[in-house]
Structure 1
Amino acid sequence: MENTPLQSTLQTEVSNWFNSLEPVNPEEMIGLWKGSGHPSGHPLDGVLENLHWFGKRFHPDMRADALLFEGDPGKLVAIEPAFFPIRWAVRFAGFGRTARAWNLFSHVRPRLRAKSTTASLQQRMDEGVLTAAMVYDRQPIVDYFRRSDGIVFGKMVVEKDPRRYFFRLQQVDEGLPA
């Protein structure tokens, strides 16, 4: 799936903006974070929101729940990312933004629950800057983090894919159980 020139221009603009942000230390990421997409012309723009993505949780042992979704009211469900091969998710992103996708996902979500954490939090180099990064255990994905004005922004990098998915994270109270 190729980007249109407009999507490529937007990807470049958002990448340049992201690279101008301050780095984050991994310890600053510990806690529960509410996420939302940051439009960038990536095929996954809008998909996670449609599926009721909540965000991420980072534990003091530097392990992470990479994908938290809203389940029953007041409950969060950590999903095993390995159930969604990233290249397929990108390829069928158009379907992921439909009501049918949300309906299907809401029915299968309980069976996709992660048995434990699914990623590690570490420091990595991103565009010449040492910053916090979340490395998925069973997917070729690294999320890099930068900050601006109290908001943490993320950039998902999929191995061998030049496109980047961008998102924002705001820390929230740990009162929501997973």
Structure 2
Amino acid sequence: MTIRHDGPDRLDDLRRRADLDAALAYYDTLPAVTVEEMPGWWRGTGLPTGHPLDGLLEQLGWWGKRFDGPEKVHPLVFTTPGGRLTSIAPGLIPVGTLLRRPALTRLPAAATLFRLARPLLATPRPAARLRMTEYRGVVTATMCYDAHPIHDVFRRVDDDRLLGAMDVRGAEHPYLFVLTRTRPGQ
């Protein structure tokens, strides 16, 4: 399969291939994003690369992220069974365990347990902030989690899409995801 090096179909090609090296090579070609460009609602989808988190967030009902400003970021916005959007507190999620034992998240009961726990994890408070940081040689907008050693580092695909690299301390490689600017309900 030939991977296109530009254009809107590039992400579709990468999704079909699920190749970490090709995805990172593409990420490295993309331009930086500024913090000032981030405010708004962003719908998220994973970009498969063989990372332990591939598909997990979607399985649990992840909708995306909400950026209200540099100091007010909601990194984990989920859809409730009633179709509402709610932010959850990442500090209550055992990220280290999920990365060390990804098979636990694939158990049939995992999604049910998360759905039952989601109301306890909900928060109206922001749980991250935005900063400009250097990652893979480029200074770009980065979401820094308050409760975990995690940085989501963004690059621009086009005016309404970003490619994010979730850099987690101790992980072999980043989890990659796409954000598309939108409004709730779209």
TM-score (normalizing by structure 2): 0.83
The share of aligned pairs that are identical, in percent, is: 37
Q: Equivalent of 2:169, from 159, 164, 168?
A: 159
- Deviation (angstroms), 1:145: 0.3
* Whole-angstrom distance in 1 between the partners of 2:171 and 2:133: 18
After superposition, give the CA deviation of every residue in 1:93-141 in whole Å (9 maximum; x if it has no partner).
Answer: 2232343211111101000112510000111111121111000001000
1:45 corresponding residue in structure 2: 54
- Deviation (angstroms), 1:169: 0.5
The answer as to whether partners of 1:124 and 1:131 remain within 8 angstroms in 2 is yes
1:125 corresponding residue in structure 2: 134
Equivalent residues in 2 for 1:1-178, closer than 5 Å: 10-149=19-158, 150-174=160-184
After superposition, give the CA deviation of every residue in 1:18-68 in whole Å (9 maximum; x if it has no partner).
Answer: 111111111111011110000111011010010010000001353200111
The answer as to whether partners of 2:23 and 2:49 remain within 8 angstroms in 1 is yes
2:10 corresponding residue in structure 1: none
C-alpha RMSD over aligned residues = 1.8
TM-score (normalizing by structure 1): 0.87
Q: What secondary structure does 1:114 align onto?
A: coil
- Deviation (angstroms), 1:73: 2.5
Query: How many aligned positions are there?
Result: 168
The answer as to whether partners of 1:154 and 1:169 remain within 8 angstroms in 2 is yes
* Whole-angstrom distance in 2 between the partners of 1:54 and 1:98: 21
Q: Which runs of 5+ in 2 are unaligned?
A: 1-17
Q: What secondary structure does 1:56 align onto?
A: strand
Q: What secondary structure does 2:113 align onto?
A: helix
